[in-house]
Structures are given as structure tokens and as C-alpha cells.
Chains A and B, each alone.
Chain A
Amino acid sequence: MAGIKAKAKLKGDAVKVKALMKHPMESGLRKDKKGNRIPAHHITEVTIKAGGETLMTADYGPAVSKNPYISMVVSGPSKGDKLVIAWLDNTGKSASTEVVVK
């Protein structure tokens, strides 16, 4: 699935994971030109996993910027390990990507 750009790099004894997700992150507070409220459409949850183990679950509200960015630092994974980064939005849509630790 498209929509997530991710990188994971081993630095010293920890891995820095960075991801950029493509999403409008509509807050539900904005109005269009006709004055109608634009319905909320935003990511609610971002999960980062390694081999079935959850490294982090981030709960995102509508106040996270459009095309959200996330970064974390984790010790455990080593070079060549696969991480899975996934998001889920308030309409039930989801996307995920795999990234190999470099």
C-alpha cells in the first residue's frame, strides 16, 4: 500500500524510526467556501511493530498536521530486521508498510 515513507537506521545501540504518512488530517472544524463543515478525516492510530512485538502505538488526534510525521527511538531491533509501520483513520481506512533496519 502506498502512502507511507519510512526509514529505520541503527545508530549506536538504538534504532531511529522515521515515517511520513500521506493523509489529509481534516480536523472537522474547517468549513468549505459555502460554509459547510468539512467532515473530520484523520489518522487515529499509528503502530510500529517488529516481529509481532509492538514497539509503539501512537494515538493521533485531528490536531496532528496534514501528512503526519512520526519518529521514535527503540533499542532491540538490529540491522536487517523488518519493522512494520501502519496507520488507521477515523473512517476505518488503513495502510501499512515494511521497512528494513539499515
Chain B
Amino acid sequence: METINTTRRTLLKGTALASVLGITGIVDLLTISQAHAAWPKTAFKSESMSDVMKELFSEDLTPTESADIILKAPDIAENGAVVPIGVKSSIPGVTRVVILVEQNPSPLTASFNLGKGARADVSTRIKMGKTSDVIALVEANGKVYAARKNVKVTIGGCGG
């Protein structure tokens, strides 16, 4: 009963909102769903590193290890559910920063597509199932650079 009611309310709200917003609302919704389609689902579902590389860069390339990437991650993560990760790079012309966790069920964790004026300096918090290498990929001028760091996980963050 509860569920039905909630659905009905959401529907009603949705309809009301759509009529208020009129044409603009519909256009907005379209833009959103189109943007959603661009989300690289297969890459996020890929279970091996080489599959992820193929999905992201259309070939299984081996990135150049670079000392110009600073991958900030803890040596030991007490709680695998919240591991702070930061990636910074002095390589010019960076267009994308990717964070991968080698031993997670699906390695691809996050991909930052840099727009106008954005610097290669991003951070987030991720989940890690167990001790693993964390890899930061930096794409600049068609080349892919990498840095990796091992993070020891005491309690995994993916189990139930």
C-alpha cells in the first residue's frame, strides 16, 4: 500500500512539475537522458584491467609511468568503504583523469573529464573491497600516463 501511494505521489508531482515547466522542462529532461546515455556503462562493468583499457582508450595500451602524477592515497585504509584519493599532475594539456582499483570487482571507479580551465587536480572518496593497487591514469595530448600506489585495506568496503 505504502509503495503504491508513494509512486502515485511521485507521479502526480512529476505531472504537475512538467506542466509548470512546459516545453523547457521537457527539453531539460531530454538533455539529461542524453547525457546519461554517454555514461560508459561497459567500461564500469568490465572486470579486468585490460577490458577497462580497451573500453576507455579503444585499445589495451600500456600507460607510461610518470613521476609528474601525484597520487594521494593512504598507505593503510582502516575502512575500505571510505578511502580518500587525490590525483594531481603537472603534465600540460590534461583532458581526463581516471581512478582504477585493480582488485575491486570492477576496477574502473571514477573518470574526470576536464573542461575549460580545469586543472589536473581532483579528489574523491572511494570503496575498496580488499588490499589493492590504486592506479591513476592521466590522459594528455592523446597519451596516457599512470601512477600507482598500494593501499592496504583492513576492513573491506564492498561486502554486506
Show the binding face of A for B, using Cβ within 8 Å. 14, 25, 27, 29-32, 38, 44-45, 47, 53-66, 68-77, 88, 92, 94
Contact = CB atoms under 8 A, between A and B. Distances in A.
Interface stretch (B63-71, B124-132, B137-145, B147-155): B124-132
Interface string B104-120: 11101111111111110
B106 A55 contact: no
Given A27-B127, A44-B36, A73-B119, A61 B160 contact: no
Contact of B116 (A53, A63, A65): A53
Q: Is the interface of A mostly helix, strand, loop or mixed?
A: strand
A30 B156 CA distance: 12
A61 B44 CA distance: 6
B119 A30 contact: no
Given A56-B115, A64-B124, A76-B117, A30 B39 contact: no
A86 to B, nearest CB: 9
16 contacts: A29-B158, A30-B160, A44-B39, A55-B117, A55-B118, A58-B112, A58-B113, A63-B127, A65-B81, A65-B83, A65-B124, A70-B122, A71-B124, A72-B118, A92-B32, A94-B32
Contacts of A25: 127
Contacts of B117: 55, 74-77
Interface of B: 32-33, 35-36, 39-40, 44, 81-84, 86, 101, 104-106, 108-119, 121-128, 157-160
Given A45-B36, A60-B110, A68-B125, 10 more contacts: A14-B119, A54-B115, A55-B116, A56-B118, A57-B112, A61-B108, A63-B127, A64-B110, A64-B124, A73-B122
B141 to A, nearest CB: 19
